[in-house]
Structure 1
Amino acid sequence: MKRSRRRRPAYFLATAAAALGVVALGRLQPPALDDLRNFVFDSYQRLAPRPYDPGLPVRVIAVDEDSLAAFGQWPWPRTRLAALLDKLVEAGAAAVAFDIVFAEADQTSLDHYARRLPEGPAKTQIAAIAAGAIPNDQIFAQSIAAAPTALGLTLSGAGPKRAPPQKAGVAMAGDDPSAFLAAFPAAIAPIAELAEAARGLGATNWAPDRDGVVRRIPLLALGPGGVTPSLALEALRVAQGASTIIIRSSNASGETAFGRQTGVNAVKVGAFEISAGAAADIRPRYGAAAPQRLVSAAALLEDRVPREEIDGRIVFIGTTAVGLGDIRATPLQPTIPGVEIHAQILESLLSGALLSRPDWANGLELVVAGAAFLLIAALLPLVAPLVSALAAAGLIGALFAASFLAFDRAGLLVDAAFPSLSAALAYGVGAVALWRQDQAARRHVHMAFGKFIAPAVVERLVEHPERLVLGGETRELTVLFSDLRDFSTISEGLSAQELTHFMNAYLTPMTDAILDREGTVDKYIGDAVMAFWNAPLDVADHPRKAVHAALDMRAALARFNGERAAEANREGRDYRKAAMGIGLNLGPCSVGNMGSARRFDYSILGDVVNLTSRLEGLCKWFRVDILASGDLRDAAADFAWLDLGAAQVVGRSTPTRIYALVGDESFAASAAFAAWRDEHVTMMRYHAEWDFARARVAAADLRASVEPHWGGCYMAMEQRFAAFEAAPPARTGGAPIWKMDSK
């Protein structure tokens, strides 16, 4: 139904209140909105992860399950780590970064082992051996000093306040960014012997969001010794042999901030200048898991790794075995070793595959959200609900498509969720407001027409009030006529009140049977009922629904007779059983408002309607309760039908194939009906062969074998065959046609 163009104050008040809510949401930026954005951006990364490039100079030496199986439990003696480092140097590694914090001396070294022993000969002997051996940490420190190595440290809110040595100089251009960097008063750093030997020290800290997912990576943080680079940034610096990290902040040369301090803009190390957020953080575009990125530590120690896998590459060493606990979550993977995240950070830095959320993103999203809200709110009152829903869905789809393209092509994180939420809110609030007004209009139509027109018609009029004019349309309908048999005899002796009670008690279950099967009751004509299916609304499978309704009416009549018999028995009076006939037909009818301009009814006309009435009259002639045309039977062939041949009714020049309805689909599939139908088919074959004597005998046999309800039908058939036998009709080219003076 097309919306009215007139102003609707309630609608505009509701949408104005919702618009204020959208503005407040965009200005306040609650954490829940950030969570929604993260979900959207994570989905983008899952849809289009960064493809892995094996040519990037980054590898991970993984202490994996194979390594533990080959060389024993973790932690390993540092002599083994020294051997691992020596092999990397020998293979030409550009830099080696340990995602391991060596905060304590090697407990497996002989001197440490001797100190832990109780006093005695064993301690004296082992101490003497240890005195002549080089401690493990010293061996490891020598290997570190000979290699381009960066060691990991962890910045902490509590713990040692001792400042680790600064390995890189830090130069600042622009405002001091310290207020924007994450600050930590303590640091858990490698022991002094190892820290002094290393060329770089980098923080292994993450900055996970509220859900524990690592999306933003701080390149710099404030520790007890000042500005501390991340392990990935420090590995990049060591690999280039750079000595200084340059921080470009607001109001630096070329960085206009109009006097405001907005934090970090970029971080430069060697030949790489990296755009960063205000807190010197980046958002890497994660790649899918790639086995080529990982090299087993066992394979390296056993000389099974080709030199080209290491030569000229930046190598991270860390644990990947599940039981060692260094597991994090990224937008792509719920569990990933931390060392692999460091490697992916560096891959993103080297390939330029960084994601950024521009400063102008929030403002743009608020403007787009407002425009989307106004567009949907303005459209809703003007077009049909389906059109406005499709428009809202299309707009939301376009917003997400544009947002995804910005992500995929330019690495920009521009949120489509907030503008889409705004469009959805505009549609939801507006649709509810309009629905409430439509309901008020529906109530008005119901009050005006509900007492005179079928409920389905009322609903159609509510949706299409322009149809309250004369005329109609042609539709394929299933039509039903029913009528009580010998109603005059039944009504004899009944008072007006008793007759009214009888008719209400009879018509109520008949009507319910029709309405429960989605039919429309056209009219009551005394004790007769006329109904149809598939108008004014489309009804799927309407012929079968009409057949079910007829069977329901048969069952309802049996219950009605049972109740009347019980009542008559209690009152000690006579009781006459009620019987009815039902005609069913299928075909095109004219349906619409019929009558005059001052008074009209929603009804149907056409030859199909007339034939249905004739079929109902034939029920008395064949002594059955439900007859249907061949067209209706063909549309619901899975019911239990009996072919009664062709009949030519009054007013029609061509015969009509007629069928008696015996039962539903389950009875049609039964062995009992199959046997019955076979005997009936044999009888009708004799009829078609003009062998009326054998047909009469077959009818008599069937009358004796079927249940009493159908005995009358075969008695009538027996009488018809006997009449044909005595006075054969004029011979035609086919089976004899029943001709009767019936309505």
Structure 2
Amino acid sequence: MFVRFIESVAFARIVALGLIVFALFVRIADPIPVQLVRNLTFDAYQRILPRVPEELPVAIIDIDDASIAEIGQWPWPRTRFAEMIDKLTEFGAVAIAFDVIFAEPDRLSPQAIALDNSALPQQVSQALSRLPDNDDVLAASFERARVIVGQTSIRSAFHRSIPNEQIPDVPHAMMGPSPVGFILELPDLVQNLPVLEDAASGRGMFSIRPDPDGVYRNLPMVMNAQGHLRLALAPEMLRVATGGAPFVLRSNEAGVDGVVLARQFIQTAADGTVRPYLTRSLQERFIPASDVLNGKLRPDQVAGKLLFFGTSAVGLGDYRATPFGVAVPGVELHAQLLENLLTGSLLQRPNYAISAELAVTLLLCLLFVVVTPIMNAGFLAVSSVAMLTAFGWGSFLLFQNEKILLDASFPIVSALATIIFMSTTNYMREEKRRRDIRSAFGHYVSEDLVNALSDNPDGLQLGGETRELTLLFSDVRGFTPIAESFRDNPAGLTRLMNTFLNLQSNAILNEKGTIDKFMGDAVMAFWNAPLSHEDHARAACRAALLMRDGVEALNIKRQKEAKAAGAEFLEIRFGIGIATGSCMVGNMGSDTRFDYTAMGDPVNLASRLEGQSSTYGKTVIVAAETERLVREKFALLEVDFVRLKGKQQAEHIFALLGDAKLLREAMFAKIRQTNADMLEAYRSRDWARAKEMLESLKPLVADFDTRLNTHLMNYHTRIEDFERAPPPKDWDGVHDATTK
């Protein structure tokens, strides 16, 4: 027993469910390999569809190798920067930010040169001492413009922290709990000379940190530097350029929610970072610093723009790896972040992203756990590829159209792993199961059924079992005249009956029924064995309607052919009986000859109902239990409370007229209600009221289905008989059928 369980689909599914739970825990833990695959996926999106700016509102004054060669060795005198700031301001620059820090006094100031050169003549030394200090010159330039100084942090035992009272605050407000513990913590702040800090319009941090793989994807908007909240360099420039209003940090128990800046709310991750949507490195964004000093700069290159001072000089080593697989100057990341803030083009990683990814992972994996063992391998391959491709494409479309990052990699990898695992276990069971089933059933069922059982053998039990089945019997009425009309053309009769039986068979098989046997022109079929079918009663009713409609179409076609040939036309009329109940289904017969069939009272009931279809003038007659199971989906009309021949117990029986569409029609509802009123009056011996209801039904039936006239005539005849000879006092409304 244990060995059989190990080999079962149930065991494989239990193991797969355990692996799915493990995968979900891995995703929640989010180890570095998972992050790496996710980030590589998002990197691929940006490589495929990089941001293409319509204009460049931000420019970089680039301290490049050519400028160093022209102006001189780095670092340059602060007066050079003052000169450039004045020129840029004159040309209409909106604001200027420095991705450079001036933490130490300028060693090229006149006073510093005098002190460092004791051999200078006293007159020269005194003259130098009377000249303005370079840092004062730069500070004065700062005051004439909107300048944002850059700040950073250093982790060194030799660095002395700045006293808090010497650290200027950036104006801000807080909404929510403290974000400490979530945002980037910088224990030691490195700032510019106090004279420069005081003269600046703003102070921003240019410290950024890479992801574990060394790529810079997430840039901080806000951070905690030595206990002081600071905006990053780009958002601080935006704050200053738009009037210098305080920024507002919104947080909640889960971390940072976002930053209100320049009258807009900027959503951030819980750690206060954002993900810029990058362009490829653009040379148009860079202006050589030497162009500003040597007069090559045109006013239109900087007018109305926000400017960063930074360096692309190789020797200064300020390069950062990007999702494009190439390193760019660090200042360009700040410039691109500012462009994103200005254009509202930041990539979004919503708070619900992780929950959505976990949910999709779970749904996909569970789906493949369920369908992989029961689905054809080729269809599984095509459908799974299509489904996973569609999900991946949907993730890319979210990026393309909404700039939303929803990870497709983890759900797809998890789903593929599930498919591989389930397919492997299927393969290990497949050959053994197919051999067992073919050996057990190959002697007494059709090849189609054997193939179906081979594809899904779980519901099969050899030796017989008790199941609730829905049985269907179908038989041609008046077959003898049809056969006589083909007495000179037996081949034509064979073709006609083959066509008729094909219609019957296809309707049954399309609804996943089992054809038990053909008995001349009669068919017996059942549902819910050998394979389980939860909707077996509805499936049988759908099959019956397909059989009815198919034969009606065949009769129309034959009538046209007979008319064209001038031949006699005889309509194929047939009846169907359907019943539902508990039956024994399995191997029935002797040791040498046996059939897979069903036995039980519902079998006899379905057969009797088929025989009564002509009595009531309707093609399909349904037993009460079947009607109870399908009444919400099919149009059924009660026709009698009858005691069938050979049975002791009476049965409410119904005519199956149509599907849910007919059920919703007002005319049918009116007929059903009037019919119910007629039956109530009839069974309570109110003959006058019953006849009145019959009269009301006649015009309705005439507009609806004249074949119901037989039903009306039956009751009209019975009522007239009862008026002449009333039924006994103990009569319970049951009609005793006189024929099978």
What TM-score does the superposition give when structure 2 sets the normalisation length? 0.55
Distance, in Å, in 2 between the alignment partners of 1:412 and 1:91 is: 38
Aligned residue identity for 1:27: I
- Match of residue 242 from structure 1: 244
Q: Distance in 2 between matches of 1:299 and 1:27?
A: 52
2:258 — aligned with what? 266
Counterpart CA distance in 2 for 1:375 and 1:12 is: 11
State the 1:227 CA deviation: 0.7
Kindly indicate whether residue 334 of structure 2 is the aligned counterpart of residue 334 of structure 1: no
**Residue by residue, what CA displacement relative to the aligned partner does 1:154-211 show, whole Å, maximum 9, x if unpaired?**
0234433214542531111232323422222211111112111111111011031101
Counterpart check, 1:133 vs 2:131: yes
The answer to whether the aligner puts 1:12 opposite 2:10 as a matched pair is no
Separation of aligned partners in 2, 1:124 and 1:20 = 83
Name the aligned partner's letter for residue 210 of structure 2: P
Supply the AA of the counterpart residue of 2:232. S
* Matched position secondary structure for 2:208: coil
Partner in structure 2 of residue 91 of structure 1 = 91
Question: CA 1:224–1:383 in structure 2 vs 1: closer, same or farther (change >3 Å)?
Answer: closer
Paired position in structure 2 for 1:415: 407
- The CA distance in 2 between the partners of 1:363 and 1:343, in whole Å, is 33
Contact 2:185–2:223 (CA under 8 A) maintained in structure 1:
yes
Corresponding residue for 2:424? Answer: 432
**Distance in 1 between residues matched to 2:224 and 2:36, nearest whole Å:** 27
Cα separation, partners in 2 of 1:278 and 1:12, compared to 1, 3 Å: closer
The alpha carbon displacement at 1:83 in A equals 0.9
2:524 matched to which residue of 1?
A: none
Aligned equivalents of 1:430, 1:123: Cα separation in 2: 91
What is the CA–CA distance in structure 1 between the aligned matches of 2:431 and 2:124, rounded to whole Å? 94
Distance in 2 (CA, whole Å) between partners of 1:370 and 1:225 is: 42
CA distance in structure 1 between the aligned counterparts of 2:134 and 2:291, rounded to whole angstroms: 22
Distance 1:177 1:123 in 2: 59
Once residues 14 and 254 of structure 2 are traced to their aligned partners in structure 1, the CA distance between those partners, rounded to angstroms, is: 40
Distance 1:130 1:383, change over 3 A: same
Q: Which residue of 2 aligns with 1:41?
A: 42
Change beyond 3 A, Cα 1:16–1:172:
closer
Q: Deviations over 1:311-370 (max 9, x none)?
A: 121100110122221101121242000111110000000000111211111111111111
Provide the residue aligned with 1:294 in structure 2.
286
1:390 maps to: 382
Q: Aligned in 2, Cα 1:37/1:123: closer, same or farther, shift over 3 Å?
A: farther
**Identity over aligned residues, as a percent?**
33
**Alignment partners' CA distance in 2, 1:179 and 1:14:** 39
Q: Which amino acid letter does the alignment assign opposite residue 75 of structure 2? A: P
Give the letter aligned to residue 219 of structure 1. Answer: M
Tell me what 1:303 maps to: 295
2:148 and 2:325 map into 1 onto residues whose CA distance is 27
- What secondary structure does 2:180 align onto? helix
Change in 2 beyond 3 A, CA 1:13/1:262: closer
1:123 Cα shift?
6.9
Please give the alpha-carbon distance, in whole angstroms, between the structure 2 residues aligned to 1:435 and 1:271: 62
Matched residue, 1:400: 392
Inter-partner Cα distance in structure 1 for 2:403 and 2:48: 14
Secondary structure of residue in 2 paired with 1:19: helix
Equivalences for 1:22-421 in 2 at 5 Å? Answer: 22-54=23-55, 56-117=56-117, 119=118, 121-122=119-120, 124=122, 126-158=124-156, 159-162=159-162, 163=164, 165-166=167-168, 168-224=170-226, 226-250=228-252, 261-421=253-413
Counterpart-to-counterpart distance in 1, 2:391 and 2:133: 63
How far apart are the structure 1 equivalents of 2:329 and 2:249? 29
Task: Quote how far apart the aligned CAs of 1:139 are.
Answer: 1.3
TM-superposed deviation, 1:249: 2.4
* Matches of 2:167 and 2:26, distance apart in 1: 46
Deviation by residue 1:565-612 (Cα, 9 ceiling, x = unmatched):
xxxxxxxxxxxxxxxxxxxxxxxxxxxxxxxxxxxxxxxxxxxxxxxx
CA distance in 2, matches of 1:426, 1:172: 47
> 1:167–1:200: 8 Å Cα contact kept in structure 2?
no
* Equivalent AA in structure 2 for residue 150 of structure 1: I
CA shift for structure 1 position 126: 4.8
Deviation (angstroms), 1:381: 2.0
The 1-side partners of 2:259 and 2:14 are apart by 50
Question: Offset at 1:153?
Answer: 0.8
| Change beyond 3 A, Cα 1:123–1:345 | farther
Describe the SS at the equivalent of 1:426. helix
Q: Distance in 2 between matches of 1:116 and 1:68?
A: 24
Unaligned ranges ≥5, structure 1: 1-5, 251-260, 446-461, 467-743
Deviations 1:50-93 (A, max 9, x none): 11232x42111111122122212221111111111111111111
Once the two structures are superposed, residues 456-481 of structure 1 have per-residue CA deviations (whole angstroms, 9 ceiling, x without a partner) of xxxxxx9xx99xxxxxxxxxxxxxxx
Paired residue secondary structure (2:185): coil
Structure 1 runs (4+) greater than 6 angstroms displaced: 441-445
Q: 1:123 to 1:365 in 2, by over 3 A?
A: farther
Q: Deviations over 1:423-469 (max 9, x none)?
A: 11111111221222246579999xxxxxxxxxxxxxxxx9xx99xxx
* CA–CA distance in structure 1, aligned partners of residues 14 and 423 of structure 2: 13
> 1:617-659 CA distances to partner (integer Å, 9 max, x unpaired)?
xxxxxxxxxxxxxxxxxxxxxxxxxxxxxxxxxxxxxxxxxxx
Count of aligned pairs between the two proteins: 436
Matches of 2:379 and 2:224, distance apart in 1: 56
CA deviation vs aligned residue, 1:227-271 (integer Å, no higher than 9, x gap) = 111111111112122231112223xxxxxxxxxx12222212233
What letter corresponds to residue 336 of structure 2 in structure 1? Q
Amino acid at match of 2:282: A
Using structure 1 for the length normalisation, give the TM-score: 0.55
Amino acid of the structure 1 residue aligned with 2:419: Y
Alignment-derived partner of residue 571 in structure 1: none
Q: Classify 1:443/1:323 alpha carbon distance in 2 versus 1 (closer, same or farther; 3 Å).
A: farther
RMSD: 3.0
Q: Deviations over 1:72-123 (max 9, x none)?
A: 2221111111111111111111100010011111122232233334x5x337
Contact 1:242 1:269 in 2 (8 A): no
CA contact (8 A) 2:59 2:307 kept: yes
**2:281 aligned counterpart, secondary structure:** coil
Q: 1:74 to 1:12 in 2, by over 3 A?
A: same
Q: What does 1:462-501 align with in structure 2 at a 5 Å threshold?
A: none
Task: Name the aligned partner's letter for residue 23 of structure 1.
Answer: L
Q: Quick one: structure 1 residues 279 and 123, their matched pair in 2 at CA, closer, same or farther if it must change by over 3 Å?
A: farther
Distance 2:138 2:408 in 1: 52
Structure 1 position 27, deviation (Å): 3.4
What SS is found at the alignment partner of 1:195?
Answer: helix
